[in-house]
């Protein structure tokens, strides 16, 4: 079995890895680190949560340990699609480079340009940035990319989804042709493959898992949902989410709840807090300081439920997430893989539960085609409880309708049941006529009639003035 000590990393980097508690590299790390140390271009394809970040940070630190940065000319560049992922990469550099004197700068939105300019002016070895903010600094004349020796593109497929591909192509053009390029992605769309063919030179391709596969350590479930009425759909869906959380019980120590829209993120978090759940929202409209505060609270356990948009779906290394709830079926099938990849990390067990409305079935088909398997269906816990309640009620009604057993008198004879009272006037009239027929009331000649003065044969509703003439003749 390969160990980090076998990968020709610098002793100071190995010491930091050992202090972090790691001994054995993941498959993507074991495949990517050796060619990266040799100076070759690397194309790494692996599902989320497999350790891609360390695959480029460790060889970069080893390669940059010798040399000195110049003002406004970073020696290496790491491009990330989101602020959160960029901040996480920076944390990785801090952890693994603590025994090496390397300077670092983080260029992301939500932070003042003045502070970032001051860092760049002093010269940095590692520049970690989102594409938009990087180009802002370049266009303001505060940054030169001609000194970049190593360039990393992390989560390239997310870059494609967010529309950063034109920016990535422009940044490639601003860096030296002789640079080393490390390119990492969970999936390989045709557009990304075109970029790698254009800007990578004979790369070492490392693919440790089939594209867009989900981890075997994650238990997946799907709950179908149909609202009783259109105007109640939102409230009933939130009620279903709470029921699914309660069904998991103590096994759900914490969870990320993904929504497709930012408005739903805020509404879901507010609803959970209303019902006593410790929940907070995170999405792109929040200030950067608030986003970092919420993420830190979720990491240290002071926040149990994180309601998030897809800004949190990629690259965030929060190892102890027990559950992922997909409040909506994602519009892009690849996002499903990245969302549920937040749980079941580093060999741990995890669980992913998704709610699907009838309008989402097309997106659900796309997800199941991508992962090449059907997600197991589970009963709606609310409807299941309602069925049980109806079943209990029906059982009670049957018992109530069952006739009581006949009781015996003291002399041994059976006590007759009381005749049920009729509540229908027509039924009373019909019973009277039936009794008359059985007692001979309609016998020929009328000799056995109980009421000889009653005229028969003319119907039950004979007018009095007609019956009177018959009666007078009979009496005369």
Same domain, 32 and 69: yes
Domains of the chain: total:
2
Average pLDDT over every residue of 114-140: 91
C-alpha to C-alpha distance for 474 and 454, rounded to whole angstroms: 11
In a domain, 459, yes or no: no
Same domain, 156 and 274: no
| 12-60 per-position pLDDT tens digit | 999 999 998 888 898 999 999 999 999 999 999 887 667 888 999 999 9
Question: Where among 348, 368, 385 does a domain terminate?
Answer: 385
- What is the pTM for the complete model shown? 0.64
**Contact assessment for residue 152 and residue 79, using Cβ atoms and an 8 Å cutoff:** yes
Those residues whose C-beta lies under 8 Å from the C-beta of residue 85, and which sit 6 or more positions away, are: 154, 155, 314, 315, 316
Residue written as token pair 């100071």: 12
Question: Where among 365, 385, 405 does a domain terminate?
Answer: 385
Of 47-61, 358-372, 379-393, 421-435, give the lowest mean pLDDT range: 421-435
Under the banding of pLDDT at 50, 70 and 90, the label for residue 314 is low
Same domain, 201 and 262: no
Same domain, 371 and 273: yes
Residue 288 pLDDT: 75
- How far from each other are the two terminal CA atoms of the chain, in whole angstroms? 127
Average pLDDT over every residue of 169-191: 91
Phi and psi at residue 14, to the nearest 5°:
-60, -35
C-alpha to C-alpha distance for 309 and 306, rounded to whole angstroms: 10
Residue 152 structural domain = 4-207
Question: Where among 335, 363, 385 does a domain terminate?
Answer: 385
């Amino acid at each position: 079995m390969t160990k980090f000590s076998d990968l020709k990393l610098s002793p100071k980097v190995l010491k930091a890895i050992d202090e972090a508690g790691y001994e054995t590299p993941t498959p993507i790390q074991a495949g990517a680190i050796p060619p990266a140390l040799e100076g070759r271009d690397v194309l790494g394809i692996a599902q989320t949560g497999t350790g891609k970040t360390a695959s480029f940070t460790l060889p970069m630190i080893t390669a940059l340990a010798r040399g000195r940065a110049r003002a406004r000319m970073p020696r290496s560049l790491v491009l990330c699609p989101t602020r959160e992922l960029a901040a996480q990469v920076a944390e990785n550099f801090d952890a693994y480079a603590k025994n090496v004197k390397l300077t670092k700068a983080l260029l992301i939105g939500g932070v003042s340009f003045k502070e970032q300019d001051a860092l760049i002016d002093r010269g940095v070895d590692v520049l970690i940035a989102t594409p938009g903010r990087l180009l802002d600094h370049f266009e303001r004349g505060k940054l030169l990319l001609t000194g970049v020796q190593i360039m990393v593109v992390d989560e390239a497929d997310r870059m494609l989804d967010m529309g950063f591909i034109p920016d990535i192509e422009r940044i490639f053009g601003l860096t030296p042709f002789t640079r080393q390029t490390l390119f990492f992605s969970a999936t390989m769309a045709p557009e990304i493959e075109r970029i790698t063919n254009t800007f990578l030179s004979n790369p070492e391709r490392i693919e440790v898992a089939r594209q867009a596969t989900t981890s075997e350590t994650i238990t997946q479930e799907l709950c179908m949902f149909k609202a009783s009425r259109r105007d109640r759909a939102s409230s009933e869906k939130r009620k279903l989410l709470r029921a699914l959380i309660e069904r998991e019980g103590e096994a759900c120590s914490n969870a990320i709840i993904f929504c497709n829209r930012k408005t739903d993120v805020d509404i879901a978090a507010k609803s959970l807090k209303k019902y006593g759940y410790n929940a907070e929202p995170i999405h792109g409209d929040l200030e950067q300081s608030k986003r970092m505060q919420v993420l830190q609270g979720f990491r240290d356990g002071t926040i149990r439920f994180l309601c998030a948009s897809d800004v949190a779906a990629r690259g965030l290394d929060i190892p102890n997430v027990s559950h992922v709830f997909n409040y909506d079926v994602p519009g892009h099938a690849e996002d499903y893989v990245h969302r549920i990849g937040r749980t079941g990390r580093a060999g741990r067990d995890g669980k992913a539960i998704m709610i699907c409305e009838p309008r989402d079935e097309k997106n659900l088909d796309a997800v199941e085609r991508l992962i090449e398997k059907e997600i197991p269906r589970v009963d709606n816990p609310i409807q299941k409880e309602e069925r049980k309640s109806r079943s209990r009620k029906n059982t009670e009604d049957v018992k109530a309708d069952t006739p009581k057993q006949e009781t015996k008198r003291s002399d041994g004879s059976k006590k007759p049941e009381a005749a049920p009272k009729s509540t229908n006037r027509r039924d009373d009239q019909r019973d009277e006529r039936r009794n008359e027929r059985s007692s001979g009331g309609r016998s020929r000649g009328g000799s056995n009639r109980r009421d000889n003065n009653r005229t028969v044969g003319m119907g039950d509703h004979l007018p009095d003035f007609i019956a009177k003439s018959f009666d007078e003749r009979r009496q005369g």
